[in-house]
A and B are shown apart, each in its own frame.
Chain A
Amino acid sequence: MERHFDEQLQTLKLHLMKMSALAETMIGDALKALVQRDESAIPLVYEREEQVNRLQIEIDEMCLTMIALHQPAAGDLRFIMGAAKTNSDLERLADQAVNICNKAENLLKEPPLKPFVILPEMARIAREMLHDSLHAFVNRDVAKSRDVLVRDDEVDRMKAEITVELSAYMASDSATISRALALVLIARNIERIGDHATNIAENTIFVVEGRDIRHHADHRPAGK
Chain B
Amino acid sequence: MTTQTLDAIISIRNLDLHYGQFQALKSVPLDVRTRKITALIGPSGCGKSTLLRCLNRMNDLIPGCRVAGKVLFEGRDIYASGEDVCLLRKRVGMVFQRPNPFPLSIRENVVFGLRVAGVRERARLDTIVERSLTAAWLWDQLKDRLDEPALGLPLDQQQRLCVARLLAVEPEVILMDEPCSALDPIATARIEELMIELKKRYTIAIVTHNMQQAARISDFSGYMLLGEMVEFGPTAGVFTSPKDKRTQDYVSGRYG
Contacts and interface: CB of A to CB of B under 8 A. Distances in A.
Decide whether A and B assemble into one complex: yes
Given A4-B196, A64-B240, A69 B189 contact: no
B56 to A, nearest CB: 27
A6 B212 CA distance: 17
A1 interface: yes
A65 B240 contact: yes
A16 B218 CA distance: 26
A69 B212 CA distance: 7
A40 interface: no
Contacts of A220: none
A71 B192 CA distance: 15
A71 B212 contact: yes
A88 to B, nearest CB: 19
A70 B212 CA distance: 7
A69 B193 contact: no
Interface in A1-41: 1, 3-5
A68 interface: yes
B236 interface: yes
Contacts of B240: 64-65, 68
A4 B240 CA distance: 20
A70 B236 contact: no
Interface in A64-81: 64-65, 68-71
Contacts of B196: 4
A69 B235 contact: yes
A4 B216 CA distance: 9
Interface string B206-237: 00000010011100000000000000000110
Given A4-B196, A65-B236, A71 B215 contact: yes
Given A70-B216, A71-B215, A1 B239 contact: no
Interface string A37-73: 0000000000000000000000000001100111100
A155 B98 CA distance: 64
A87 to B, nearest CB: 17
A68 B235 CA distance: 10
Contacts of B66: none
B157 to A, nearest CB: 15
In this complex, the interface size class of chain B, counting residues with CB under 8 Å from chain A, is 10 to 19
B235 A3 contact: no
A115 B220 CA distance: 62
Task: Report whether over half of chain A's contact residues are helix, strand or loop; otherwise say mixed.
Answer: helix
Nearest to A69: B215
B190 interface: yes
Given A68-B240, A69-B239, A1 B215 contact: no
A60 to B, nearest CB: 11
A177 to B, nearest CB: 51
A71 B215 CA distance: 9
B140 to A, nearest CB: 14
A69 B216 contact: yes
Contacts of B216: 5, 69-71
Contacts of B189: 1, 3
A70 B239 CA distance: 10
Contacts of B239: 65, 68-69
B193 A1 contact: yes
Nearest to A65: B236
Between A1, A5, A69, the greatest number of chain B beta carbons within 10 A of the residue's beta carbon is seen for A69
Contacts of A64: 240
Contacts of A5: 216
A3 B240 CA distance: 22
Between A3, A4, A64, the greatest number of chain B beta carbons within 10 A of the residue's beta carbon is seen for A4
Contacts of A70: 215-216
A69 B192 CA distance: 13
12 contacts: A1-B190, A4-B192, A5-B216, A65-B239, A65-B240, A68-B215, A68-B239, A68-B240, A69-B215, A69-B235, A71-B212, A71-B216
Query: Which 5 A-B residue pairings sit nearest by Cβ, starting from the closest?
Result: A69-B215, A68-B239, A68-B240, A65-B236, A4-B196
Given A69-B235, A70-B216, 5 more contacts: A3-B193, A4-B192, A4-B193, A5-B216, A65-B236
